[in-house]
Copies of this chain bind each other. A is one copy, B any other.
Amino acid sequence: MPLHDPAHAFVPYPDTPVPHAATGPLAGLTFGVKDLFDVAGYPTGGGSPIVLAMSGIKTRTAPTVQKLLDAGAALAGKTVTDELAFSMNGDNAHFGAPVNGAVPGRISGGSSSGSASAVSNGLCDFALGTDTGGSVRAPANHCGLVGLRPTHGRVSLEGALDLAPSLDTCGWFARDIGTFARVADVLLGDDAAPLPAAPRLLRPTDVWALATPEAAEALQPATAQVEKVFGTAAPVDAALESFDAMYWHFRHIQGREAWMTDGPLIERFAPPLGPGVKERFAFSRAVTDAQVAEAQAFRTRFRAHLAALLGEDGVLVMPCMPDIAPLRSDPDAALEDYRNRAIRLLCLAGLAGFPQLSLPLARRDDAPLGLSLLGPAGSDRSLVALAEQLSAR
């Protein structure tokens, strides 16, 4: 770990050499790894003191991390995660709040807080995170980074701690699309069915209405630029039920799976969970079978609905989050309100399992704001290619 980490982005584990290839497509780049992934020679803490205590020193490196090492990237360190990855705020009650490198007075977002912090503060070139309900997309938006939630299952999470397996994905952050694309080539390879060079842009007006008017306005120039390059976006409705209903369906699936993952640990050790995390697990414990069944049936219908809407060439152009990052000094209730609004935007990709790329193309009030591209299943690399085209103009 960097001995002087002014951003508190890295978990201060003792330095342990992690070999990487001398040459390869990522040679010369350094990267951070969210402390959910096993790295041989290090513990895996998952943002939880009890998990850290139980961890011991891992002897195997998660395959996705190994891929990056084999491609020549050098490990900079393991990064702080929100507790058990079950938060969107980037403030771990036990390990601290990594600093947002783009706007230090605002939250970094989470749960991949340390990864976004490390990259946005220039402490490494890119960093791995995970995204269950927004844990890559939220910090990418907040810290002014490129960040991808990939198609569910596309990037291996083997050797990483679960939160809600049917929603968990492995994503990453970079400051620029060039670096981001180099990592994409290693982690994604080519799409089996790439998007066409001129995709069919869609503007989900119902989703746009979830952003604050100020954020929607601030995103207009970037949207206009996207349309200038790829053609005018056709207005559509993306939701299948009300956003309230989608919100609850998402939370019921996430909650049930999170409790199956971490409930045994919580019941056995009664660990003191941080603010918000505690309440979220209490909610999770109380989710009923009927709620889960209804949510899963909805998810199946919604995935089919979104697949039909997008076909093989459609891309939603939409806000990543309702607005810029809240202030670090905002009261808990304001953060919780922001989170509840954010889940309504974030749950589309989550429920469908489709890829969503956040691009730091806008600002308001001196803070970054992400415009996002959401494509059909398997279009991950194509979305990155669109962003490369945009950047080249």
Contact = CB atoms under 8 A, between A and B. Distances in A.
Interface of A: 8, 11-14, 43, 45, 49-50, 52-57, 92-97, 269-272
Contacts of A93: 93-94, 272
30 contacts: A11-B53, A12-B50, A12-B53, A12-B54, A12-B269, A13-B53, A13-B54, A13-B56, A14-B54, A14-B55, A14-B56, A43-B53, A45-B49, A49-B49, A49-B52, A49-B95, A52-B52, A52-B53, A53-B95, A92-B272, A93-B93, A93-B94, A93-B272, A94-B94, A94-B272, A95-B271, A95-B272, A96-B269, A96-B270, A96-B271
B45 A270 contact: no
Given A14-B55, A45-B49, A94-B272, 16 more contacts: A12-B50, A12-B269, A13-B56, A49-B49, A49-B94, A49-B95, A50-B95, A50-B96, A52-B53, A57-B57, A92-B272, A93-B272, A95-B271, A96-B269, A96-B271, A97-B272
A281 B335 CA distance: 28
A3 to B, nearest CB: 9
Task: Label chain A's interface by main secondary structure.
Answer: loop
Nearest to A78: B53
A28 to B, nearest CB: 28
- Copy tally for this chain in the complex stands at 2
Contacts of A13: 53-54, 56
A93 B95 CA distance: 12
B8 A269 contact: yes
A215 to B, nearest CB: 30
A90 to B, nearest CB: 13
A121 to B, nearest CB: 15
A320 to B, nearest CB: 28
A93 B271 CA distance: 9
A96 B274 CA distance: 12
A241 to B, nearest CB: 39
A11 B53 CA distance: 7
Nearest to A80: B53
Enumerate the 4 nearest inter-chain pairs by beta-carbon distance, A residue then B residue, closest first.
A14-B56, A49-B49, A49-B94, A94-B94
Chain B CB within 10 A, most for which of A8, A49, A50, A52: A49
Contacts of A45: 49, 53
Nearest to A47: B49
Contacts of A11: 53
A147 to B, nearest CB: 25
A238 to B, nearest CB: 39
Contacts of A49: 45, 49, 52, 94-95
Nearest to A3: B268
Contacts of A50: 12, 95-96
A50 B94 CA distance: 8
A272 B53 contact: no
A2 B43 CA distance: 20
Contacts of A12: 50, 53-54, 269
Contacts of A92: 272
A51 B64 CA distance: 28
A381 B172 CA distance: 61
Contacts of A8: 269-270
Contacts of A55: 14
A14 B49 CA distance: 14
A209 to B, nearest CB: 37
Contacts of A95: 49-50, 53, 271-272
Nearest to A95: B49
